[in-house]
Amino acid sequence: MARILLAEDDDSMRRFLAKALEKAGHRVKSYGQGDEALSELDEDRFDLLLTDIVMPVMDGIELARRATARHPDLKIMFITGFAAVALNPDNNAPKDAKILSKPFHLRDLVDEVDRLLAA
């Protein structure tokens, strides 16, 4: 069972993703803003940061940069409808981050999370 930190600003999507990951056996803490998720990293240890890219206050790329600066072994997965943003080399996203483009099936999410955690 992995510990996953989820940052997604859409409330219904966040609940939906958390529930699917919990059903798959993972422990999930979820937040609606990147800055809130970053604060949680100071309080607890996680195996994976699963984050949307486009969010208010702090976007997912900035969250991932700051999170990996604090915890270099933290695995990162972006979930986004804007994959080109994550793929842009100028944004300095963590190099080993996985990108899952919306829309996706929940089974695909769980499978990709499991693959990333096993790597």
pLDDT tens digits, one per residue of 54-85: 898 999 999 999 999 999 999 999 998 765 55
Name the pTM for this structure: 0.90
Any idea which of 19-23, 66-70, 88-92, 108-112 has the lowest mean pLDDT? 88-92
pLDDT band at 87, cuts 50/70/90? low
Percent of all residues in the chain with a pLDDT value above 90, rounded to a whole number? 72
Q: Is 93 exposed, middle or buried (0-12, 13-18, 19+ CB in 10 A)?
A: buried
Domain that holds residue 89: 3-118
**What's the rounded Cα separation, in Å, for the pair 5 and 43?**
12
CATH number at residue 108: 3.40.50.2300
State the average pLDDT for the chain: 90
Total number of domains constituting the chain: 1
